Each structure stands twice: as C-alpha cells, then as structure tokens.
C-alpha cells in the first residue's frame, strides 16, 4: 500500500461519516507548542498564530502529513480572559492558517470552541455569550467546514449546542469526562443523549483522560444512545498520556500535571491499539488531544490503513511495525523489526525510584 | 531577568569558552524529526533539508529560541550509505539552513560529522576518506564556524581528528561512550587524552547514554586530562532519556530502542538538574542529543541564566519553576507553582504492568 | 499499657461481640506451614497435626501470643479428597491441639469447616454430606466453642449453614468473595443477607483478596444487611497479600500464586491501617487468612489496644511504631523510631525488572 | 530422588568440604523469630532460648528438615550490652538446643560469634575480650563442632580469629561486606587474604546484602585468594532480601529496614538461582542470614540435590518446580506446574504507588 493523499473533491464531515469513512482528527496544540516554545503553560492561549505563524503552520502540516482529515483552528476560547484587543485578530488568523494547510490535502477546517476556560471560571455570563457569538461570526465569515465544541460542564453544553446550530454548520460536541460522568454526576450515557437532543451530530469525549479510559467512556456513551434510541456519530480525542490513576476530573489533578507527564506518554503502538479498539467500538472520528504528537496521529492512520485503503504521507518515513530496523547491524535490533515484538513490549521507565501510579490531588 | 538575545558581534567558539561563557548546544534532530514525520527510523538520514526545509528550519528556530548558541548542520555522515547523487546537495543545503537561522540570533554554525554509520560499518575505507574530505570541503566552502565530530570507535577517531585540523577551524570531538569506555576498553580518561593529543580543542561525549550516565563519563574524562596535564574544553550532549540500565554500548541495546523510549523521556526538571551538575563539574559546552526537545534546551538556559545573565527568548513563554500555574483555579494545582514541588516530584509512569528497568539485549 | 493476658473466665463468642469487644482471629496455617515445611502446596491438607504436632502447636502458640482470641482447628475440609482412614484422626487431633493452646490464654476454639475443596469440586454430594455430618460430630464431641464455615459458592453455603445450626453452637460463615460478588453474580450485600437468613450469627469474608479489597466487600455486606433490616456481627479475615489487580476469583488467578507472592506480603503497618479501617467500619471480628503471619495478628492487637485496653503478650518483644530502634547507633536509623515514618513509607521491591501489577490468568 | 536424611556417622566440617560435599547452612533467627514474636527488633538478643525454648527448637527443626547441615547456636554476641546475669545461661542453653536438634539429623553444631554489636559499638575492649573468652569457654565446654565468627570491622576480625584458633576447632569467618569492601576500604579480596592468614579455614560473607550482591563479593574474595596463592573453603550466607540499591553498609541504611522489607523477600526460585550460581562459583558452604526462611534453605537443598544425591526431608511436602499444582482444577494454574514458568516469572509487588528501588539513608 503506497503512501498517498486522498484525491478528489472534499466531502463534508457528515457525508464522510455517513458513508462509513474513518475521519482522523488532529492532535495536541497547546502542550506540543508549549514544548516547542510558543505557548505559555498556565495561560494556554493561542497568540502564536500571530506571533509565530510559521510554528503553528508547521504543526498543522505535520498533522496533515500524519493523516489528519481535520485542521482544528487554534483559537482563543470564548471565555478566555486575556483576549481584549488581539482576540479577534488571533481567531481570524487561526482560521486562515487552518484553511491554508487544509488546502494542501484532504482535510476539513473545524472551528474549535472551548467554552470553559481552563483556569478561570468566568462569572460574567453576558460577556461570555457576546464573545461566543463574536467567535461564531468569525467562524462563519471564515467559512469553516464544521464546528467542534469542547465542553465539560453540563449546563453550558446545552446552551453552547443551541447557539452553534444557528451557524448552519454540522456540530460536534465532546466532553472532558471519564466513565464516572460529568461534575454533576450525569453519566456518560445520559450526557451523550442530552448532547444529541441539543443538536449535536457528532458526540464524544476529548482531553482529560488517556486512551483506555476514554474508550470506556465512549462505550458508556454509545450504550446510552442505543438505550435512548438515538443516533449520532461517535468521536474520541483522548490524551496521549496513560492515566489509569486519574480521579473524576482527569489528569489536571495528577501530581505530574503539567510538567512531569513525560513517563506517561503513549508509544505509537499504544495508539495503534487504541485506534483499533475505537474502530471496533464503532467510533469513526478518531483523533487525539493534549500529548498527541504527529507520530501518534500517523499511528492511527497506519493502524486503520486496511480499512481506509491508503497510508498517510508521513508513512513515506515510517516502516510499518518497526520494519525500518531490518537492516540494522546488530541482529538483536533487527529482531525488533516485527509486529509481535512491539505489541508485546512492556517499556521500562528508566526511573526505578518512581512509582507506577500516583494519587490524584484534591 | 528579562528574556533577551545576546547582543553584539559574534565571538568564536573558543573565544567564548576561553572567556568562561557557557555555550549551549542544540538538541535532537533525527529522533525529533522522526516523530514529526520527516526522518525514517532505521535509515536516520537528513534528506529532509531538501525535501522539507521548512520543517528543518523550524526545528533550528525552536532550538535558537530555546537558547542554543550552536546550530549544528543536519548533514549526512561521511560513511552514509545512501548518499550518492544527492549527498552533496543535502550537505550544502544543511549548511545554508543552519547559517540562515544562526543569523537570527547569537548562534554559531557547527559542521557536524558523524564518522560511524549507525547501521552499517563500512569496510571501504578509501571511499570513506574521500567522502570525508568532500564533506570537509563543503563545510569550508560554506564557512562553518567550527566542526563537531561525533565518533565512537577508537581508531577512526584519531584519523578523523587529524583530517579535521586541516580545515583550519576549531574542532570539537565527542565520543558515544559511557563510563566503561570505548569498544576496545579504552577508558574515558584515556580517550579524552588521545582526542586532545590528536588536535581536538573541545572534548566530551554525546548520544548513547542518558544525562546522569554521561556526566559520570565526563568526570572520568576530566580526571584523565588532569592526570595527563592536558587542557581542553569540556562538552556534553547526552540523550534526553533516562538509561541507568544501559550496557556498554548504550541505548541501542535497550529493548525500547527506538520506538518505545517514551517512558524514559527526561522532564525539564531532570534537565535543569543535569545542567547544574554539568556546570559544577566544569563543563561549559552543554547541550543534548537524541530525545532532547526544544524545551529541554530551554531548561539548560533557564538553569544557567544566573551565570549567563540572561534568559532565552522562549522563556517569554515559560514561567520559571512552574510559576505559570499560580493563577490556576484549583488550589492544589496552584501549589505546584514552586521549585520545591518539581524538584522533588517522582513522576509516575501510569504503566503498572511495566517494569522500571530493562535488561539490554545482546 | 503493659502487655497482659485477659484475665477471668472465658466468655463465648457471641457474648464478646454482644458486649462490643473486639475479637481477634488467627492467621495463616496452610501457607505459613508450607513455608515451614509441613504442608504440601497443591494438596493443602492438614496431616501435620498428626505427623508434626509440635509444628502446629507452635504456630497456634504464636498466634495466641500475638493476640488471637480464636484458635481455629486445622482440619480437613469435608470434601477433602485424600481423607480416607486418617481423616477422623486428623480432625480429632486438630481439635485437641487447638484446645490445648486455647487453654493457655484468652482464646476460644472454633471448628473450621471449608466446604469447598480448593482443588477439586466434588460431585458425590451424598458422600460430602455424610463426611460433613461426621465432621460436625467430631466438633461436637470435642466441644468446640463455635463454628466457622468458609464457603465460596452460593448453593452450598445455604446447605452448610442449615446443617451447622444443628450443632447447637454459634455459627460464623465467611465467603471467599470480592466486591464483585460470588460466582453466580450474587452481590456481597445479597450474600450477607442470605447467610444471615440461613442461620449465621456472624458473617463476612475470608481469603482470596487482600485487606483493602476485602474491606470494600465488607462495606457492601454491611450495607446489604442494613437495607434488609438484618443484624449480624461482621467478620473479616483477608489475605496478608496486596491484590489490587485480582479478578473476580481472587489471588489464585494471579500469575504469582502460590510460589511468587512474596513481593505482595503486607507490612505490619499495612495491617495496622487495615485493622483501624475494619474497626471504623463496624467489624468486630478481625483476623487474617493466607499470608497472615503472627506479627500481622500482633499488628491488629497493637492497633486496637486503645479500644481493648491491653496489649498482646508478644508485644513484650515489640516496640510500638518502631520505638525499639531509638537506641540505634546510626542517627538515620533512630529517626525511624516513630509512627509518622512507618505510616508514610512507600517500601521498594528491590526488583526493578518486575512490574507492580499483574494481569490475572484465565 | 526420594527425600532422605544422610545416614552414617557425622564427618566434621572440614572433612566434608575437603571431600567436595556441599554444606548447607541454616537461615534467619533474629528476623524470623521477631516475626514469630520472640525477639525484639532493636535489641536483637537471643533470650528466647531460655524464655521460649520450644520456639527456638522448632525453628532449628525446620532448618534441619529443610536440609541444613549446620545448627548455628543462637547466642548472645560477646559485645552484647544487656547480657549481665543471664548471659552465660543463655549461651549454654543455646548450645544444648542446637545440639539436641543436630542429633536428629546430619547436622553439626557451630558456635556462633558476632563480635560487633549491631546497635552499640562497645568501647571497653578489655571487657569485650573477657566476655569473648568466656563465650569460647562455653563453646568448648559444650563441645561445638566448629566456630563461625561473623565480623564486619577490619581490626577486630584479626583479633577474633587469633583467639578462636585457641579453641582447637575449625574456624569459619564471614564478613558483612559488599563488593566495595570493608569500612576502611579494604577490598573483599584483601579481606579474604587477611582472614585466611589469621587462621580461618573457611571464609566468606554473611548478612547485610542480598544474594546477587553477596555473590559478587564472593567472586572478588575468591579472586583475591587466588592471586595470593592461598586456599580456603568459601562460604556465603546472604540476606533473603533483594538489595540492589544498598550502599556500602548494606540493608541497615535502606529506608525499609527493618519493618518494611517484605516486598524485597526472595522467592524460592530466586534462591535456587542463587544456590546454583554460588555452586558454580566454587562456594561449597551455602546458607542464608536475615530473611532466609526454612523454605529458602529447602530451595538450596533442592537445587543442589543432583550434586548431593538426595533431597531434604521437607521435600516430602514440596513438589519440585511447582509440580504440586498439576492437579489443580483450573488449567491456567496447572500450567504453572513447570520449571520454565517459575524461572521466568517477574512477580508483581501489588504496590503501584511504591518505587522499585530506594535511596539508602545516611
């Protein structure tokens, strides 16, 4: 199977899902650009789209090459505090960058809205609503292909979905929840039902929990929808970190957040396993969130290449299941050039003084 | 201390070291660009400088912003197998890219030579020597500021250093060895002595071993030079991975190499500790090799900012010791905005079914 | 508080529990005597009471000194396969040994019945019932103070309890279940209800799961009884091993069972924590099963000494919370002579090549 | 190979070693009897031989059954502080107990001398020497078969060995050192040489370090003796704990000492490996120290049964390499009834919040 782009005119997100295609999301912007030097941890804001557009474009390009079908705009969220003057400029520029790169391959542009500020819960609801509407205006003006709202709290989610429908674009809504449900103890199944009733065409989870945990949540969402007799496309964009020890509010409470998460980073093989399980569960929009590097996205695209019929461009530079090692001078390294080896590897941390799990703070 | 570039005309590498300055090297190209989708693991060759110059330029930029004073050319090594036609073009382009980015800040260009092919030990010595001379010609023509030769085997190293001196540029030679010495059981101390006698102005280690292990090797090199009454500047560019369980030939023999190293990635705090210890040991050229991401280089620059008198540009986007968390809504996350917290964190792997150490293959 | 026995005439088991006393059970016989060389793993039979009575008496003595108020007879179970001729002799001798040692302190004798053979599920129900009645006859003849039936399967448990009541002695029934319930998915709460309805005065769990897990099960049993408006005394006798990774059928499925469980052995401090939590949960019969050594039983007695008003005899040889270290020549060892030290210790395994959790076989 | 005692008249220790026999030592008294409730941690004194002779006799019996050829007297050491009045009585009684049990099998009695108090370094040298002579008098009077002196400090060791020779009995001297040598930086090789020159017939190490570490020390001792052209029998009695993270002074400095060592306890399979390696190294007196339970000694005897020609008595109750599991009802437990399974098992700690190694205190 030769690496290849997907030729022809672009289908919309719902057409793709309707026809059974796998849509591959993109990965981590905030955490990845923090490590590259363009985002400040704590603030987590996207002014880099103006200050350092090359860096943002480059990351979009890497995800596109890795197989992403969606370029999510790297935008200020509606409730962002330090938005003032440059807020509109940043959001507009983010749309342009996403569109520019999307045009180089088979990718759509998704306007990304995160209604809940990570660091400050904003009391001034009127102001938020106004900004929210302004943000939608930018997205409509810049003609994004669809919208992704990432929400965590129950009340806002309904409001958000209602407003988003006015944009006359397909709406995906994902929640930052784990199997235990949202902050008001609404189960994932019930959450999914409410999201669909509020107008979301695609529902799922993003961020806060690792791949395995997020798939458990997706299973509960799927079952909830089935019980309610509702239909929606499923979408999952988990952390690129292993978090079996998370509490209800996810990785933010882990002592390693955000500057000591390295030992938890998933391998490409972990992600291939995740992609396969997501697919088997019926999820067709499969991507990642914080910690998902371009090679993780490529791992999704490689795992699902048999179903999709093609490999992503970046597979030009990647031998499937370690096959690039088959010429190594050392026979024991050559012996790693096979699927069974990497599927069964239990990678050591190199940190014998560290535990394998943490207790979440609170 | 405000982030700032280093103003004024550029001093040469030896002038800097002579005057007691700390020189910060750059980090990982092969492994980092592999994850970004531009280098093929197994081949580990730099054709991206021609195929995807934006990606290579961007990584140079990130290291520059992070505080690197050296842009090492991303060049084919002299004994590279698949060099043929495009070999010269790639090496020339690599020089241009390094020079372009170096010109945007206080960085020198180092011509990077790796005499030993990672994957194939080349028997045709005459051919290697010829290519080696050709490579030097490119470096001279492109006017690199100095040369860095990364060598692992004893015999070649002497040959290499001899030839390099002809270039009339300062020569740094680093070996890929650990505390146990080279493949012929020459101790690090003796290796350092021979390197200096062969003409190297700067000696040290790079790659193959993690920060702690590499500093042990540096200590032995330093003691060897002292015993021999020789003087040279010391340089260290270790892996960005923890490898306390490495055997004599380093991380290549670890079962996790190269696709399962994630849990071993150093945190920024690990690197600050490393930078401080390197400095205390008397090393003044401090950088990284495989696995060193831009934020690791920034960690060196931040740790040594008191000695250097300035912070790197990328510290615009980084609060020292986690201070960017001091506005978080959760009090237990705010409590992480302090040095003591991160210095004492023992980060969990999130992988309870994995061990903490591995046995090297062989 | 000076170590002291409990003076005066012996109260029965129900009188003790009725008056609010803490009753301390004994610990591990099969696994402990296996390590001492008197029980064969795989068979797990008690012929040592005849072959090596000194060894069995000694272990009873150690538990008595450690604070046990119950000497459970070390008897063949009713469905034991290899019982034939010596079966009755062994059971009678086991009663005599238990009675002999119980007479040296404040302990009762409990006739111990394990209806389910560990290794073979016996089909010949008529034979089992006959042997079961024979066993009860021995217990009555030897005048045990009460009966403890350890059951795991739902159906038998009811039968067993019915028969036991005929003995005219108080009956305790414990199940080898975890929080997920019995093999037919009957929840712990429902199990407890059925046991009480079948005539058990004391109900709880034993074996198969570690202390933390067993307390979770006890909580569910307690809640089940409360919901049903039933009253019974609660009893817990868990493994002395940490088993957070157990599946539904407990430690037998863990790959370490039975010859590699060493790294899982609880410390005395783990057991003090367990005893306190059991007490706080309202459990008043607190002991142990496989893996509970005499010092673990002592840890229960020391933790609950404030409530009971006295220490066990074996505390003559034990400084509370490590206080015996306060004269050590090394200051850093003296610094361990305090409660806070041991309560917070996270003990290393000394096994960096081993994981911290296992996947159960099945 | 049927379990069997070793018939016939007893040969002396040197005759046995001279003829190439493997001599199996005994195991842990202080730590084992502490867990059974008869020794106080911190004091670590043997008054149990008078207070609870049954408990001490029982432990001797277990080691005898497990295959020990040596019953080492459980005696106060010469420099013990709290010895006063009962000191002589205890030492005499300890000899009687050891002799009584030795008479039941093929075991010799060794008078055990530990010159260095664990907890207090005694300044009154004259008093120590007097007590030391008194102790030797007891051993001579009680007619022990040979002497074992366990020493850790360099100076005393010479003195001790000199005095011991006066007893006209073979003398074994073991040091509590690791590969780094004694407290005055005398290497293991040099230590061994000095011990032999001072009159020891058997030299080696005991206590303080785990099996693997102790074998490294033995290798150095052996090489030292070979270099010096000296001959002596080699003896090893390590901890039954894994201590790869020990510093120079051994397990006392580990944070887990002495009440949190459980996760470090060796399995029987670890000990079989140790026994085989000790044998291959040429060591013929193989036993254990703190943490060595009877089943660990049995593991030595089982591993070396092919060489010795017989199994120990306690193997009546032990199927080799887990063979006792071959009738289990669960097929996956039956699958554990084989050597390969247990040799390759990497046992989990069940403690995901704990590290695998510790840093020694000091």
The arrangement of strands across the sheet holding C285-286 comes to C23-24, C285-286, C233-237, C202-206, C171-175, C146-151, C108-114, C70-72
**Cβ separation of C357 and A352 shorter than 8 Å?**
no
Query: C6: burial class by Cβ within 10 Å (0-12, 13-18, 19+)?
Result: middle
d(CA A235, CA A170): 14
Structure tokens at B339: 């040095």
Nearest to A352 among D352, D353, D355 (CB): D355
Tell me the chain B residues in contact with residue A322 when contact means C-beta distances shorter than 8 Å: 41, 259
Tell me the chain C residues in contact with residue B358 when contact means C-beta distances shorter than 8 Å: 353
pLDDT at B167: 79
Is residue C1 over pLDDT 60? no
CA distance B249 to chain D (A): 22
Tell me the chain C residues in contact with residue B354 when contact means C-beta distances shorter than 8 Å: 355
pLDDT at B80: 65
CA distance C359 to chain B (A): 8
Tell me the chain D residues in contact with residue C352 when contact means C-beta distances shorter than 8 Å: 244, 356-357
**To which H or E segment does residue D128 belong?**
helix D125-141
Least-confidence region, from A49-53, C147-151, D101-105: C147-151
A227-282 pLDDT per residue, tens: 999 999 999 999 999 999 999 999 999 999 999 999 999 999 999 999 999 999 99
Structure tokens at A354: 């560290």
CA distance B104 to chain A (A): 14
Looking from the CA of B238 toward its CB, the CA atoms found within 13 Å total 29
Farthest-apart Cα atoms in chain B, separation: 66
Query: Which is nearest to B23 in space by CA: B222, B297, B213?
Result: B297
Binding site per annotation, positions of B: 207, 289-290
Q: Is D207 annotated as a binding residue?
A: yes
**Cβ separation of C256 and D333 shorter than 8 Å?**
no
What sign has the CA pseudo-torsion A312, A318, A322, A326?
positive
Give whole-number Cα distances, A213 to A245, A259, A277, A359, D9, in Å: 10, 21, 12, 16, 68
Nearest to D353 among A352, A353, A355 (CB): A355
Least-confidence region, from A15-29, C115-129, C159-173: C115-129
d(CA C178, CA C215): 9
Residues of chain C with pLDDT > 90, as a percent, come to 76
**Cβ separation of D356 and B357 shorter than 8 Å?**
yes
Q: Where are the domains of chain C?
A: 13-318, 323-361
Query: Which is nearest to D12 in space by CA: D102, D136, D146, D141?
Result: D146
D150-204 pLDDT per residue, tens: 876 554 555 566 677 777 899 999 999 999 998 888 999 999 998 998 889 999 9
d(CA A280, CA A303): 12
CA distance C23 to chain A (A): 33
Query: Which is nearest to B287 in space by CA: B109, B28, B46?
Result: B28
Neighbour tally for B3: CB within 10 Å: 18
Tell me the chain D residues in contact with residue B354 when contact means C-beta distances shorter than 8 Å: none
**Mean pLDDT, all residues of chain C:** 90
Nearest to C346 among A346, A352, A355 (CB): A355
Is residue C12 over pLDDT 60? yes
Alpha helices in A198-330 (DSSP H): 211-228, 268-281, 294-303, 305-308
Nearest to D348 among C58, C335, C355 (CB): C355
Rg (CA), chain A: 20
Residues of chain D with pLDDT > 70, as a percent, come to 89
Hey, which residues does B151 pair with through a beta bridge?
A: B175
d(CA D306, CA B214): 46
Beta-strand pair D23-24/C285-286: unpaired
Structure tokens at C51: 């072959």
Binding site per annotation, positions of B for Zn(2+): 207, 289-290
What sign has the CA pseudo-torsion A337, A340, A343, A344?
negative
d(CA B270, CA B303): 11
Residue B10 neighbours by CB under 8 Å, 6+ apart? B106, B108
CA distance B319 to chain A (A): 8
Question: Band of the pLDDT at C60, cuts 50, 70, 90?
Answer: very high
Interface A–B counts its CB contacts (< 8 A) at 272
Least-confidence region, from A245-259, D103-117, D225-239: D103-117
**To which H or E segment does residue A71 belong?**
strand A70-72
pLDDT at D119: 37
Give whole-number Cα distances, B103 to B100, B246, B315, in Å: 5, 38, 20
Least-confidence region, from A106-120, A249-263, C317-331, D134-148: A106-120
CATH architecture of the domain with residue range C13-318: Alpha-Beta Barrel (3.20)
pLDDT at A325: 95
- Interval D288-313 mean pLDDT: 98
**Cβ separation of A35 and B294 shorter than 8 Å?**
yes
- Which residue is listed with tokens 């052209």? D229
Instruction: Pick the more confident residue, D3 or D35.
Output: D35
CA distance B260 to chain C (A): 16
- Which residue is listed with tokens 């791992």? A299
Angle of CA points D163, D167, D171, to nearest 5°: 75
Render each residue's pLDDT in chain B as its tens digit; 362 residues. Answer: 434 444 457 899 999 999 999 999 999 999 999 999 999 999 899 999 999 999 999 999 999 999 999 999 999 876 665 556 688 899 999 999 999 999 999 999 999 987 654 334 455 667 767 777 888 899 999 999 999 988 765 545 555 666 777 778 999 999 999 999 988 889 999 999 989 988 899 999 999 999 999 999 999 999 999 999 999 999 999 999 999 999 999 999 999 999 999 999 999 999 999 999 999 999 999 999 999 999 999 999 999 999 999 999 999 999 999 999 998 889 999 999 999 999 999 999 999 999 999 999 98
Tell me the chain A residues in contact with residue C355 when contact means C-beta distances shorter than 8 Å: 346, 356
Helix (H, G, I), strand (E, B) or coil at B102: helix
Give whole-number Cα distances, C10 to A245, B61, C16, C70, C301, in Å: 48, 83, 9, 11, 18
What parts of chain A have a pLDDT lower than 50? 1-7, 117-121, 155
d(CA D282, CA B254): 32
DSSP state string for B156-192: HHHHHHHHHHTT-S-EEEEE--BTTBSTT---HHHHH
Is residue C61 over pLDDT 80? yes
The residue of chain D with its CA nearest to that of A360 is D353
Structure tokens at B78: 């002299």
pLDDT at B135: 85
**Cβ separation of B328 and A39 shorter than 8 Å?**
no
Nearest to C298 among D37, D252, D333 (CB): D37
Question: What values do phi and psi take at C176, rounded to 5?
Answer: -90, 60
d(CA A54, CA B100): 15
d(CA A164, CA B27): 44
Question: What values do phi and psi take at A232, rounded to 5?
Answer: -160, 155
CB D107 within 8 A of CB D25: no
Contacting partners of chain A (3+ CB pairs under 8 A) = B, C, D
Tell me the chain C residues in contact with residue A355 when contact means C-beta distances shorter than 8 Å: 346, 356
d(CA C91, CA C96): 9
- Which value does ipTM take for this structure? 0.94
Farthest-apart Cα atoms in chain A, separation: 66
Beta strands (DSSP E) in chain B are 23-24, 70-72, 108-114, 146-151, 171-175, 202-206, 233-237, 285-286
**Cβ separation of B260 and A267 shorter than 8 Å?**
yes
The residue of chain D with its CA nearest to that of B350 is D352
Contacting partners of chain C (3+ CB pairs under 8 A) = A, B, D
Give whole-number Cα distances, D31 to A230, A261, B63, B95, in Å: 65, 40, 56, 67
Neighbour tally for B334: CB within 10 Å: 16
d(CA C305, CA C336): 22
Tell me the chain D residues in contact with residue B357 when contact means C-beta distances shorter than 8 Å: 356
CB B80 within 8 A of CB B113: no
């Amino acid at each position: 199977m030769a690496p290849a782009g997907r030729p022809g005119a672009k289908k919309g997100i719902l057409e793709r899902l309707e026809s059974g295609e796998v849509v591959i999301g993109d990965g981590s912007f905030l955490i990845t650009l923090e490590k590259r030097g363009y985002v400040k941890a704590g603030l987590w804001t996207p002014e880099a789209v103006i200050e350092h557009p090359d860096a943002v474009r480059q990351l979009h390009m890497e995800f596109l090459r890795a197989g992403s079908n969606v370029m999510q705009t790297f935008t200020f969220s509606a409730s962002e505090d330090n938005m003032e003057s440059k807020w509109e400029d940043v959001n507009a520029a983010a749309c342009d960058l996403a569109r520019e790169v999307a045009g180089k391959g088979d990718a759509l542009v998704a306007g990304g809205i995160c209604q809940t500020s990570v660091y400050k819960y904003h009391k001034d609801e009127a102001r938020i609503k106004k900004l929210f509407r302004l943000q939608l205006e930018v997205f409509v003006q810049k003609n994004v292909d669809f919208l992704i709202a990432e929400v965590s709290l129950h009340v806002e989610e309904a409001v958000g979905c209602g407003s988003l429908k006015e944009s006359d674009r397909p709406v995906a809504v994902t929640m930052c929840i784990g199997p235990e449900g949202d902050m008001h103890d609404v189960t994932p199944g019930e959450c999914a039902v409410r999201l669909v009733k509020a107008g979301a065409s695609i529902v799922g989870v993003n961020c806060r929990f690792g791949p395995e945990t997020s798939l458990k949540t997706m299973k509960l969402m799927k079952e909830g929808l089935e019980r309610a007799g509702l239909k929606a496309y499923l979408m999952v964009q988990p952390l690129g970190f292993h978090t079996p020890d998370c509490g209800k509010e996810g990785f933010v409470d882990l002592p390693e957040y955000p500057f000591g998460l390295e030992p938890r980073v998933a391998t490409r093989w972990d992600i291939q396993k995740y992609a396969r399980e997501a697919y088997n569960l019926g999820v067709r929009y499969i991507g990642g969130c914080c910690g998902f590097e371009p090679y993780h996205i490529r791992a999704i695209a490689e795992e699902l290449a048999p179903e999709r019929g093609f490999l992503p461009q970046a597979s030009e530079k990647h031998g499937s299941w370690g096959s690039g090692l088959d010429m190594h001078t050392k026979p024991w390294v050559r012996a790693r050039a096979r699927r069974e080896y990497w599927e069964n590897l239990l990678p050591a941390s190199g940190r014998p003084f560290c535990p394998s799990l943490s207790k979440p703070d609170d």
